[in-house]
Amino acid sequence: MRNIKTNSKISFKKIFKIIFSKPFLGALIFAFALWVYTSLNQEYRTNLNIPIKFYLPHSRAFIASPPENITINVRGLGWQILNSQFRNTAYCSIDLTKEATKDTTYEIHRDLILKNIQNQNYMNVVDVYPDYIKLNTGKVEDVTVELKPNVIITPKEGYTIVGDITVKPDIVFLSGNETAISQIKSWSTKFYTLENVNSPINMPVELSDSLKGVISVLDEPVRLIADIQQIAEIVIPDVKVKIIGSNLLKNHFIDPQNLQVTIRGGINEIKKMNLDQVTAYIDYQQIINDSTGFIFPNVQVPDFLKVIGIKPHYLYHKIKYQL
């Protein structure tokens, strides 16, 4: 029994030495290289997606977006197919600038597509899909529309957005088919999400290409602008309540005549605020129409600031009758 085990160990060691010997490994590598060489020099067929670009006369524009890609079926050697999978440089470019149109329509057939396929890495293009493309076009029109930011800004805790989020410039020049472009009243930037922001924003942004191929957008630098400030509060203890619209009747009384107002906003806006800019008032008609004895005052503060507290919340309206 011991002899059998010993022989098994010896046989395993011999096999191990043979497998990892230089002659065996060399033969194995040579066989693999020969198989790869043979495989790569055989002919295969495969499908490739390639970009397609159309060039129209300056007076024409697409009504709907043309296809951006087509699928070609190619035949070639294995190494050509392998190279195309990693480095596909083929493309199709169709120049229609000198073609005649019929009812604003271009009809592109298989032969024209195949004829204009470039850089196919010495492979033969067997077929193409789609093999027929219909392009509807119309007259070109140029317009200028409002440009709007498409962004969500989340300030860091303790900070706030002061004022409006804007872009500069706030207009954009568009060019495209007259039917499509007549329905566009404004344009936007690409969508951006900015989180945990604790300082003013002034950054370059790109414009939307949602109608790529139909609408051309003037490639002009655009910046997104937003003022982010630390949140601050101020309490103004004595804001006098004014009566507007007429003078208060002699037998009518408003109590109290001063309010405590708490204001919140960006720290820079709070700093530059003048106390005279904070006003409280009630309209004369509120007093005349009152039947409850309670009147809620109105408080005005500078732009970009917010009233978060008024004490008292309401005023007493009293009428003194003479006997």
Q: Is 8 inside any structural domain? A: no
Examine the fold and report which residue of 106, 139, 172 is the final residue of a domain before the chain moves on: 139
Q: Is 216 inside any structural domain? A: yes
Domain that holds residue 252: 231-319
- Residue 88 shares a structural domain with residue 100: yes
Instruction: Say whether pLDDT at 314 is over 50.
Output: yes
Quick check: 129 and 169 in contact, CB under 8 A?
Answer: no
User: Measuring CA to CA, how many Å separate 220 from each of 152, 165, 167, 172, 203?
Assistant: 22, 19, 12, 8, 14
- The end-to-end CA distance of the chain, in Å, is 133
% residues pLDDT > 90 (the chain): 37
Q: Is 16 inside any structural domain? A: no
Partners of 266 in beta bridges: 231
- Residue 246 shares a structural domain with residue 215: no
Average pLDDT of the residues in 124-142 = 86
CATH number at residue 77: 2.170.120.30
Higher per-residue pLDDT: 203 or 18? 203
Per-residue tokens: 118:
């470039």
- Residue 287 shares a structural domain with residue 216: no
Burial 221-248 (b: 16+ CB within 10 A, else e): ebebbbbbbeebeeebeebebebeeeee
CATH number at residue 219: 2.170.120.40
Position 145 scores a pLDDT of: 93
Q: Is the pTM of this model over 0.75?
A: no
Instruction: Say whether pLDDT at 166 is over 60.
Output: yes
List, for residues 208-235, the tens digit of each pLDDT value: 988 887 888 887 899 999 999 999 999 9
Instruction: Say whether pLDDT at 16 is over 70.
Output: no
Q: Is 155 inside any structural domain? A: yes
Position 2 scores a pLDDT of: 47
Q: How many domains does the chain have?
A: 3
Higher per-residue pLDDT: 112 or 248? 112
Q: Residue 169, preceding bond cis, omega within 30 degrees?
A: yes
